[in-house]
Amino acid sequence: MSDLPRTLAECYALHGGSFTIGDPRPVMQAARYTFFTPPPEAFAAVAAGDWIKAIFRPVPADRKFDAERMWVKVEEVLPDGFAGRLDTTPSDMPQLAPGAALFVPRDWAIDIDWAEGREPPDYPPRRHYWDRCMVDACVLDGRSLVDYLYRETGDLHGPDDEYQDSGWRIRGTDAGIAEDEQLGRSPSYVALGAVLNRDDRWLHLIDEAVGEHFRWWDEEARFVRLDD
């Protein structure tokens, strides 16, 4: 295993600085409800023979794809990361070939594939927010916080859709909606998680029943339930 890089600097030097491995933590922070990775205790259980996935970006960034997510077969677990070999054929990154010796920092791995016969450790399941909703563009663009929301019977999903219409209808402020009209922007049908990434102050309401309405009340800094 002497030819395996043991640090990120060694990894880049070995390949002539022809790619970078992406640190996913800024994306995870900005997209907490749509970008998920296994918990730290799962990565702590990774052993030689397992696979970890990382984000690779070409240098220079002039390829068809800005980044590719690829698997690395782990050959050695180090205190701060994993040394192994690329086990994916890149779609458009000729500077990397299957079998390339790599080092991936522990905090930069984004997924795990356990070797045959290996069982992942037990950890609490994470709730996902892929069901759909309608939301004003101003909220989705970050030009407005959620100001008013209500839940109706979801009817926008098709029979073959993987995710259901949750029935949530999420509105921005009056000023944000007026700006949408000026810009010609229409509401979007998106995952609940995409809205929560922008404003999660209403997360505690997400399981409220059909027919409920809420509005943000500045004086109390909370959503209040509206009577019919």
Tell me: do 106 and 203 sit in the same domain: no
Tell me: the pLDDT tens digits for 150-184? 999 999 999 999 999 999 999 999 999 999 999 99
Tell me: do 137 and 74 sit in the same domain: no
Tell me: the pLDDT tens digits for 82-111? 999 999 999 988 889 999 999 999 999 999
Instruction: Map tokens 């794809």 to a residue.
Output: 65
The closest of 176, 181, 227, 228 to 198, measured between CA atoms, is 176
Q: Out of 113, 140, 165, pick the residue that ends a domain.
A: 113
Tell me: do 153 and 105 sit in the same domain: no
Tell me: do 39 and 105 sit in the same domain: yes
Contact assessment for residue 132 and residue 140, using Cβ atoms and an 8 Å cutoff: no
Q: Residue 200 is part of which domain span?
A: 132-225
Tell me: do 204 and 155 sit in the same domain: yes
Tell me: do 176 and 94 sit in the same domain: no
Tell me: the pLDDT tens digits for 22-54? 999 999 999 999 999 999 999 999 999 999 999
Tell me: do 194 and 139 sit in the same domain: yes
The closest of 135, 72, 58 to 108, measured between CA atoms, is 72
Give the DSSP per-residue string, 196-226. HHH--TTGGGTTPPTT-EEEEEGGGTEEEEP
Domain count, the chain: 2
Alpha helices (runs of H) in the chain, residue ranges in sequence order: 8-14, 25-30, 40-44, 137-140, 174-183, 192-198
Alpha carbons 172 and 198: distance in angstroms, whole number: 12
The closest of 172, 176, 170, 173 to 191, measured between CA atoms, is 170
Q: What are phi and psi of 204, to 5 degrees?
A: -65, -10
First to last CA, the chain: 69
Would residue 74 count as lying in a domain? yes
Tell me: do 24 and 61 sit in the same domain: yes
